Structure 1
Amino acid sequence: MDTAVDSSVTSCAAPAKGEPYLLTPGPLTTALSTKEAMLRDWGSWDGDFRAMTTQLRRSLLEIAGDTAGNYDCVPLQGSGSYCVEAMLGSLVPRDGHALVLANGAYGKRIATTLGYLGRRHTVLDKGDYLPPRGSEVERMLDADPSITHVVAVHCETSSGILNPIEEIAAATAKKGRKLLIDSMSAFGAVPLDVRHLQCEAFVSSANKCIEGVPGFGFVIARKGALLEAKGRSHSLSLDVYDQWDVMNRTGQWRFTPPTHTVAAFIEALRLHALEGGQAGRLARYAHNRDVLVAGMHELGFEPLLDAHWRSPIIVTFFAPADPAFRFEHFYDLMKQQGFIIYPGKLTVVDSFRVGCIGQVDADVMRRVVVACAQALRTMGVEHAAPPGVALEERQLLAQQV
């Protein structure tokens, strides 16, 4: 066993010299051995690379809990949004009707994509950060029997909210409809086990909780749904059925695959298993979040969400009310100290986000808090407390949930 790799998993050594930590929902900071896996060139038609493709498909199905062999994994070149569009265009029939559960940018992007595809859709818009509930889904499905599919985002990183996907799945199944899940920023850390959660398909990406690098995503779908998708896609490149069919017959990707990204992902999968799989990864990310939130509280920062809805993926904090605080300056000061954070996406009050995923651990989170304190001192911000309207909005959120 390579002890250097083991150490990188448990202690999350610093990135390469000059590289900041990427505290975002992906791309993210990766292990050195994952980077090193990209130093070799691979032939896309070669048997060794075909074996790597087979291995990644099998490993992802194992993480998804597909012990019965009812599902299959279809990797696709491109970003996560490519794979979401591929799933929607291949699995929602042209005469189908999708109910989109939106509470942030990615739910809204799903609705926009369906519009481009010419697929009928209805949107349950919960605003920036209220969770869609199973009871709401049931009412809407009862009210409109024409709805064939429900589309939900597992973790909406606009706010960091972890949506109640289990109750959404139960409500969808109860009403006899099909569930599609965007689990881009959750799968691999947050449980998504197809033995216990009924879904037609879900999508995720190489550069999220498995801690690979950008270049491809994947659709995990029922084999029956994949068979039904034949001839349905609007796009040759994004045809999930055709990609699946060719891979099963030849072991190859239809078009030039991201060979180096696949090689990195194989190493990332090894490290994922070494850490204890989904449960081990969730434990580290959740601890990262808790250490971060506790430290930021001491500085006066307030998180948007209460603990029940706060994901282990990324945390949204209200911006301080102090007039000396400007996010652009704060961002630059954090970057100078080696940390890349994320701007906020709330519409009512200013905010920013700090990711908890990637090759980071609790020690890194403590250093983030120290860097935040230093940045506030440099800016002349006396206290990080948010404006009163932010706390009022959070209280309203708690009442509505």
Structure 2
Amino acid sequence: MTHVKIEAPRMGEPWLLTPGPLSTSFAVKEAMLRDWGSWDTDFRAMTAEVRARLVAMLGPGGASYECVPMQGSGSYCVESMLGTLIPRDGKALVLANGAYGLRAARSLAVMGRAFRVLDKGDYLPPRGAEVAAILDADPAVTHVVAIHCETSSGILNPLAEIAEATAAAGRRLLIDSMSAFGAVPVPPSEIAFDALVSSSNKCIEGVPGFGFMLCRREVLEAAAGNAHSLSLDAHAQWAEMEGSGQWRYTPPTHVVAAFLQALREHEAEGGVAARGARYAANRDRLVRGMRELGFETLLADAWLSPIIATFFCPADPAFAFPDFYDRLKARGFVLYPGKLTVVESFRIGTIGRLDGSVIDAVLSAIGETLADMGVVSAAPPQSALDERARFLEEVKA
């Protein structure tokens, strides 16, 4: 494990306190300064190294998995996984507690796959007992779709108990680990799953342009002909890479080069455990500092992820998020708007090339910004707290 060197942004470049794209190292940026031929042997070797490193990142039990890179954003890869691995006569149980679970359900609707949704709202995770009860009552369900970290709110969902309930019912688990893989372990020896997807611009700290699926080999082999899409057929992509070492269609060559550099930096830092520890330290420092400023987190501490934290917008009439955002950007920090269904909120990411010194700097900038805006209190509106309490009471009932 090595200490991560955090370079100050270059002239005019802000810190991205977002869940991807995020702030990257100079070396990752510099890796994109060379052109690569997509069919060239050197680039094929790069693709092979990326695939091998990602499988190795799974840890114990990962040897039976294959890596399938796929062009496009994270949502492309989620749709590729769902359309390739869920048979046309299958049915999915989608576990939703934010925008990304609901997006998975919408993808299934568009591709004509049967599904049902367990929607937990913005504040709570799906629990293993709930999954078990639904699977017991609905034998038609073949697959469970879980979001590892729901970045709408920042919830880190209890993947282990969801996987246990799914396996006990004899069903198959598909994981959207877009914002968690690389910092939160998903060892197949402990968590039974058929496949997960993630993206180049998340916890491995590359840049946007492709994602990847890690899938059990036997499951991938059996998926031929399932896909609803030519370009998003993960089985066909895997078969081509196994045969020729090439991507089926034009790959994002510069992004792959940057990602390979990011993978090497990830390993040098100490792998998943070290990356996750840095992010968790960032989160703890951020949440503590924001509470000292008077802000309140949307979530209880038990469900806070090390990826991104959501805060209620202040009730103070002097506070307006667009103005707050612009003033912080002028100070060199880019935040993330809220993405919730009920309350006004905003999010601050703790991943990327950040450490405690950056977190301290953003806390200082937020304090100065509130003063400049004339915001006396950062406390949330009582209506937002009442709405949360009402929802939690309904869940208990």
Task: Answer yes or no: same fold by TM over 0.5.
Answer: yes
Aligned residues: 394
Counterpart position of 1:24: 18
CA–CA separation in structure 2 for the residues paired with 1:226 and 1:135: 29
Matching residue of 1:3: none
- CA offsets 1:102-132 (integer angstroms, 9 cap, x no match): 1100000000000011000000111123110
Tell me the equivalent position of 1:387. 381
State how far apart, in whole Å, the 1-side matches of 2:307 and 2:332 are.
20
Q: Does 1:118 align with 2:104?
A: no
- 1:183–1:68 CA distance, 2 compared to 1 (3 A): closer
Q: Is the 8 A contact 1:11 1:361 kept in 2?
A: no
CA contact (8 A) 2:96 2:147 kept: yes
What CA distance in whole angstroms lies between the structure 1 residues aligned with 2:355 and 2:319? 27
Quick check: 203-212 or 388-397, which moved more?
388-397
3-state DSSP of counterpart to 2:301: coil
Matched, 1:235 2:238: no
1:372 matched to 2:366: yes
Alignment of 1:280-295 (within 5 A): 280-295=274-289
Give 5+ residue unaligned stretches, structure 1.
Answer: 1-5
From 146, 150, 155, the equivalent of 2:144 is 150
Matched residue type, 2:385: L
Give the equivalent residue in structure 1 for 2:185. 191
Q: CA deviation at 1:15?
A: 1.7
What is the match of residue 39 of structure 2? 45
Q: Which amino acid aligns with 2:156?
A: L
Q: Give the TM-score taking structure 1 as reference length.
A: 0.96
Partners of 2:16 and 2:22 within 8 A in 1: yes
Write out per-residue CA displacement over residues 324-346 of structure 1, whole angstroms, 9 at most, x where no aligned residue: 10000000000000000011122
1:222-268 Cα offsets, whole Å, 9 max, x none, are 11111111011111111111100010011111111111000000100
Report deviation, 1:194.
1.3
**One-letter code aligned to 2:358:** V
1:113 maps to amino acid: S
Structure 2 residue 54 is matched with structure 1 residue 74: no
1:62-141 equivalences in 2 (<5 Å): 62-65=56-59, 67=61, 69-141=63-135
Shifted more, 342-351 versus 202-211: the winner is: 342-351
- How far apart, in 1, do the equivalents of 2:119 and 2:391 lie? 14
Alpha-carbon separation, structure 1, partners of 2:62 and 2:325? 48
1:195 is displaced (CA, Å) by 1.7
Identity of aligned residues (%): 62
Work out whether 1:255 is the aligned partner of 2:249: yes
The CA distance in 1 between the partners of 2:197 and 2:50, in whole Å, is 15
2:220 aligned residue: 226
**Alpha-carbon distance in structure 2 between the residues aligned to 1:93 and 1:289:** 39
- 1:354 alignment partner AA: I
Give the letter for the 1:173 counterpart: A
Pairwise CA distance, 1:68:
5.6
Residue in structure 1 matching 2:172, options 169, 172, 178: 178
Equivalent-residue separation in structure 1 for 2:249 and 2:11 (angstroms): 35
| Equivalences for residues 285-364 of structure 1 within 5 A | 285-364=279-358
Residue 66 of structure 1: how far off its partner (Å): 5.5
